[in-house]
Amino acid sequence: MSDVEDRPEGTEPSPAWKIPDPSVPPTWAPRPPIDGAAKEHEWPETAGEPAAGPTAAPADPPADPVVEADVPHEHTWNPVTRMTRRLPRGLRVTIDWIVTIVGAIAIVLFVKAYIVNPYRIPSSSMESTLHCAFPAPGCEASRSDRVLANRFIYHLRDPRRGEIVVFNTPPEAAVRCGAGGTYVKRLIGLPGETVEVRVLNNLGYVFINGQKLNEPYIEDSRRGSQPFPPHKVGKGQYFMMGDNRSASCDSRLWGTVPHANLIGKVFATYWPPLRISLH
């Protein structure tokens, strides 16, 4: 092979074959950083060419105006929401409030009718266990006690002796006591038992089937001194007495209470605040 390239006369050799001139110092520049960090040196520019190195990213084009699209309704189990979703918002809010208020009232009525109901103590027949407000005769407090009665408990179990019970009186109570309706008394005699009140040392004591009943909830000053002859309680019947025996119109006057008349067991006093307690 010849060391001389055949080329037309007067032309320069190709840059790849051009021998560099040793008298001209080489030019060089550091490579731009890979990670796009700030450069430390200005890169040399040649005429008509941009500087070497990293360049700023082009700005994002302006976003198109957002057009609100039809969004499908979320699935819900709320029947009110499902039925009113196509109505105007104001009407939907009004309907929602009405349904909420009606639902709350329905829940309260259901609770009062079947679970728990409040009662006010109007007379002194249960003093001093439950207070009534003076100037009513025999009352000791400025405000009547208000109690809560469990209305479903006697659907689950039988009544027990000693419990304070809310019940509807038999018709004879209105005749003998001057008023009937709803009473609050203590359950003393159970079905099949014989109830008797004997006077000992001028105080009345209850005997059940000939055995003296222990009644720590009765103050001696409230036992009274009236005897009551033996009375056998019928099947499905209950014998009721007030804790204030000398001022209580109870089963000694108008007879026993059938199970169907029992409303519930008093389990708490909730008013006034200083009287809050469980029974």
What confidence tens digit (pLDDT) does each residue in 71-92 have? 445 566 777 777 777 788 888 8
End-to-end alpha carbon distance in the chain: 124
Residue 55 has pLDDT above 70, yes or no: no
How do residues 127-170 score in pLDDT, each as one tens digit?
A: 999 999 999 999 999 999 999 999 999 999 999 999 999 999 99
Asked if residues 79 and 59 have their Cβ atoms less than 8 Å apart, the reply is no
The three-class DSSP label of residue 264 is strand
Confidence of residue 99 (pLDDT cuts 50, 70, 90): confident
The whole-chain average pLDDT of the chain stands at 83
The rounded percent of the chain whose pLDDT value lies above 70 is 73
Active-site residue flag, 225: no
Task: From the candidates 185, 248, 251, 265, give the one annotated as an active-site residue.
Answer: 185
**Domain residue spans in the chain?**
79-113, 117-278
Cβ atoms of 260 and 121 closer than 8 Å: no
Burial 48-79 (b: 16+ CB within 10 A, else e): eeeebeeeeeeeeeeeeeeeeeeeeeeeeeee
185 is known as an active-site residue: yes
**197 and 204 Cβ atoms separated by less than 8 Å:** yes
- Whole-model pTM over 0.85: no
Question: In CATH, what number does 117-278 get?
Answer: 2.10.109.10
232 φ, ψ to 5°?
-85, 130
User: What pLDDT does residue 62 have?
Assistant: 58
Sequence-separated (6 or more) residues with CB below 8 Å from residue 248: 125, 126, 185, 241, 242
- Most confident option among 21-35, 49-63, 100-114: 100-114
Whether 206 contacts 241, CB under 8 Å: yes
CA distance 154 to 238: 13
Residue pair 226/136 in contact by the 8 Å Cβ criterion = no
